[in-house]
Chains A and B, each alone.
Chain A
Amino acid sequence: MVEEQELVTALQTDGAKEAAFRELVAQYKERLYWQIRNMVLDHDDADDVLQNTFIKIFRNIKSFKGESKLHTWMYRIAANESITFLNKKAKRNNVSIDNVKSNAVRKLETDVYFEGDQLQLQFQKAIATLPERQRLIFTMKYFEDHTFEELSEILETSVGGLKSSYHIAVKKITEFIKTDETL
């Protein structure tokens, strides 16, 4: 695996940019895909957002000044692209973002690319009730195992703030599942 700093230098050098970008895609495609998929739920939507994320990375790599780590910057772009996608979808269909999320969860029941059981479906329903940023924090921490310190760099938020946001999310999910079970 090529070291990150070497990769950045190559990405910002005209002759080496394409080969370095291939390496970058190979290294990060899966991690970025799962981060996006956990937000948009549908595979085809995740695929679109992932491609847009890499297009943004390629276009803007020249202006990357190394103030954060390359992968941190990429995760941040993927996070913003996911939220932008959900907002655009809501605007296009003239519905609220909550509506977009609940529709996406409902679609999971018949989605050929979802093999979750009832509990996993209920879990997704609960996650969809969280506000965007809290949902991002929860899914990135719970499913992708980012540490709070990493998340703090990616989302440019204090570790304390992230921890409390995460605990609030866990509480809301637990309460949703409890209420849903008694219905």
Chain B
Amino acid sequence: MKKEENIPNFKVPESYFETFEERLFSKMAEESFPKNAGFKIPEQYFEKLDSRILKAVAASEKPKKIIPLFPRKYFGYAAAIAASLVIGFTLFNTKRNTSQLDSLQLAAIDTYIEEGNLNMDLYDLTSYIEDEDVPDIDLDAKYFSDSSLKEYLLENIDTETLINEQ
């Protein structure tokens, strides 16, 4: 059997032989898997798809019609009630706690988003942010405690991703 030194000009990628069995057995196992998934599509689906997609895109671009909650004639009454409530609230509740108000608003916003009412994802959000805005984003540590960050990572990142990224 020839020794490796006899072919000094050839090299193999790092860990090639160490991982050879793994790749070989994986390839052999794959051979026994079905070649296709077994899915079917309705007749003429792809032929009709273009016009459906274009319609869906056009519909999503149309400004949505806003239906008022209250007809205009009730505005006067509503304004009067709101004004008296504000005055009453100011008169009887002068020791208003602003920090409590802030946290209440944040909690309400959190719930609103968590319930899926904010129909936006990463692409929608990033479309509102320009490159030059990024350094201005205030990523103050006070927004994420170590424990909530840890909880987020444990819930959202699977172990394999972490191992693979090492």
Which residues of A does B touch, CB under 8 Å?
Answer: 21-22, 25-26, 29-30, 33, 37-38, 41, 43, 50-51, 54-56, 58-60, 62-63, 77, 80, 84, 88, 91-92, 112-117, 119-121, 123-124, 131-134, 142-143, 157-158, 160-162, 164-168, 170-171, 173-174
Contact = CB atoms under 8 A, between A and B. Distances in A.
Contacts of A58: 57, 61
A63 B122 CA distance: 13
Interface of B: 22-23, 26, 29-30, 32-34, 36-42, 46, 49-50, 52-54, 56-57, 60-61, 116, 121-124, 126-127, 158, 160-161, 163-165
Contacts of A121: 38
Contacts of A29: 46, 49-50, 53
B interface majority secondary structure: helix
Given A134-B158, A158-B165, A21 B38 contact: no
Given A54-B57, A158-B165, A161-B164, A116 B37 contact: yes
B136 to A, nearest CB: 18
Contacts of A25: 49-50, 53-54
Contacts of A123: 33-34, 37
A38 B37 contact: yes
A143 B30 CA distance: 12
A26 B29 contact: no
